Structure 1
Amino acid sequence: MFKAQKEYYWKIGLLVSFISFILLITAVGKVLDSELNIKNLAAFIGFSLAVGLIALLLVRFGFKVALIFFLVGLIIGFIEMYRLFFSDSSGWGDLAGLISLFMWVFMGIGLGVFAQLGAYYWRKRK
């Protein structure tokens, strides 16, 4: 494996992880005006590393279709989370926003894997 290829997927994984961490910190710390403690930071770091690891593996193994679905799910999840944080005044917006983020991320990776399998079988059939 060439050195440029090796650095490429690590950079994508770290970039996705860093951006998701910044978006989570901004959402909870600034938008919700909530105090950040060690438990929150540990959960944010864990989620960000998991998301970055998934992106890293998808890039590393060349699953482009799955990567696109995963990143679209992640983007939609963050947009939906921020929308619920800003619009819900009943007090459940923070929990509903985080649940919607997780839901969209899981849907993105699930649909991405199925789409990648479909693309694989389609190419194999031809």
Structure 2
Amino acid sequence: MFTFNIIGVSPVLHFFNYQQKQAQCYYSSGITYLSSHRCSLDAVLRTLDHTDFDPTWKTEDMAKTIINFWLSNLESVTHWQRRLKDADAQTILVSRIAYTEALRYELEDLFNE
């Protein structure tokens, strides 16, 4: 089972640098960050076609999770649409899709540090 959240908006260069650091210490964490220049359901779903996922991840399940989030969190989506619109052209929407268990393990690791 997947979970999806909009994390926020970020300058493109900041997100790119973060992705490069993650790639250098690559491990299959069960968590992937997505980026889009638009805050729309179609734009976010298109990012699934351009992101390298673990081969066991099912794109159809991820798409269903994103659609359910979008329909269930319209207030949050509208908030991020406004924030992205108010930002400069070099800013992107950052979202996260992950296995629910992977997030649980990540939180447990944070509390154990």
TM-score, normalised relative to structure 1:
0.28
Q: Greater Rg, structure 1 or structure 2?
A: 1
**Higher relative contact order at CA 8 Å, sep ≥6: structure 1 or structure 2?**
2
TM-score (norm 2): 0.31
Structure with bigger strand share is: 2
